[in-house]
């Protein structure tokens, strides 16, 4: 096992491993998506108990092993408590994290995706922004980052002008303003329908969190 490294990131998922451990997937700025084990993190006395859960954002001290990391310390900067108290918002967040996991790999710079995910979760905590609008913007921007979003959608005259502009906004706007817009109900419905079609044609995996989200959000 090599020396310790400190990585900034967010816990995307956590699952039991062995009797008391947890297996974490963490999206980091420096090394992309990594797998880490938090030893004894399921014990009530563990100093890692609170950090080894989804939505935890902070700095993680880890030792690098042959196929995974071992988490030994965490300095938490944000738990996203607002989402933990919002049943529907939490499931949007779980879906966002699973979608981000799909588009990230180990040893690739994860800065842009991590920044997008963080901004999207902060937007979910804002009651003035519609959750489904945030979802659309998050999906579009992440697919743009992955080089898989069709650029010609903004020129598709079968869409309403407002829908074409919405796609342009979501594809190009700076992150600080990405979620700062509203859409009429009919426009959002059209954008959602077209985006669902693009996702079906582009992505060959099924997101379990999305099925749950659809069930709880109605």
Mean of per-residue pLDDT scores for the chain: 96
Which carries the bigger pLDDT value, residue 218 or residue 77? 77
Kindly tell me if the per-residue pLDDT of 1 is higher than 60: no
Over residues 108-126, the pLDDT tens digits come to 999 999 999 999 999 999 9
pLDDT band of 2, cuts 50, 70, 90: low
pLDDT band of 85, cuts 50, 70, 90: confident
Distances (CA, A) of 216 to 86, 87, 210: 12, 8, 10
pLDDT band of 217, cuts 50, 70, 90: confident
**CATH class of domain segment(s) 4-78:** mainly beta
Return all residues near 126 (Cβ < 8 A) that are at least 6 apart: 179
pTM: 0.96
Query: Where does CATH 1.20.1440.120 sit in the chain?
Result: 81-217
Task: Kindly write down the DSSP assignment for every residue of the chain, as one continuous string.
Answer: ---EEEEEEEEEEEEEETTTEEEEEEEETTTEEEEEEETTTTSTT-TTTTTSSTT-EEEEEEEE-SSSEEEEEEEEEE--HHHHT-HHHHHHHHHHHHHHHHT--BTS--HHHHHHHHHHHHHHT-TTS-HHHHHHHHHHHHHHHTT-S-GGGGG-TTS-HHHHHHHHHHHHS-GGGTT-----HHHHHHHHHHHHHHHHHH--S--HHHHHHHHHH-
Above pLDDT 90, what percent of the chain? 93
Query: Where does CATH 2.40.50.140 sit in the chain?
Result: 4-78
Mean pLDDT in residue range 96-102:
98
Mean pLDDT in residue range 9-23:
96
Which carries the bigger pLDDT value, residue 190 or residue 1? 190
Over residues 127-176, the pLDDT tens digits come to 999 999 999 999 999 999 999 999 999 999 999 999 999 999 999 999 99
Q: The domain 81-217 belongs to what CATH superfamily?
A: Recombination protein O, C-terminal domain (1.20.1440.120)
pLDDT band of 27, cuts 50, 70, 90: very high
């Amino acid at each position: 096992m090599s020396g310790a490294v400190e990585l900034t990131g967010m816990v995307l998922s956590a699952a039991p491993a062995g009797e008391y451990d947890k297996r974490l997937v963490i999206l980091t700025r420096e090394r992309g998506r990594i797998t880490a084990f938090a030893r004894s993190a399921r014990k009530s006395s563990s100093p890692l108990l609170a950090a080894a859960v989804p939505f935890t954002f902070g700095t993680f001290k880890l030792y690098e092993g042959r196929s995974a990391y071992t988490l030994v310390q965490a300095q938490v900067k944000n738990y996203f408590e607002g989402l933990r108290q919002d049943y529907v918002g939490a499931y949007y967040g779980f879906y966002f994290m699973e979608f981000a996991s799909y588009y990230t790999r180990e040893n690739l710079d994860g800065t842009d995706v991590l920044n997008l995910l963080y901004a999207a979760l902060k937007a979910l905590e804002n009651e003035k922004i519609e959750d489904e609008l945030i979802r659309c913007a998050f999906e579009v921007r992440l697919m743009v980052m992955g080089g898989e979003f069709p650029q010609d959608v903004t020129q598709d005259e079968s869409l309403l002008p407002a829908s074409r502009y919405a796609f342009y906004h979501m594809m190009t706007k700076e992150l600080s303003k990405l979620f700062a817009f509203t859409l009429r109900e009919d426009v959002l419905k059209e954008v959602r329908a077209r985006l669902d079609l693009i996702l079906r044609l582009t992505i060959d995996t099924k997101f379990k969190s999305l099925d749950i989200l659809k069930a709880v959000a109605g």
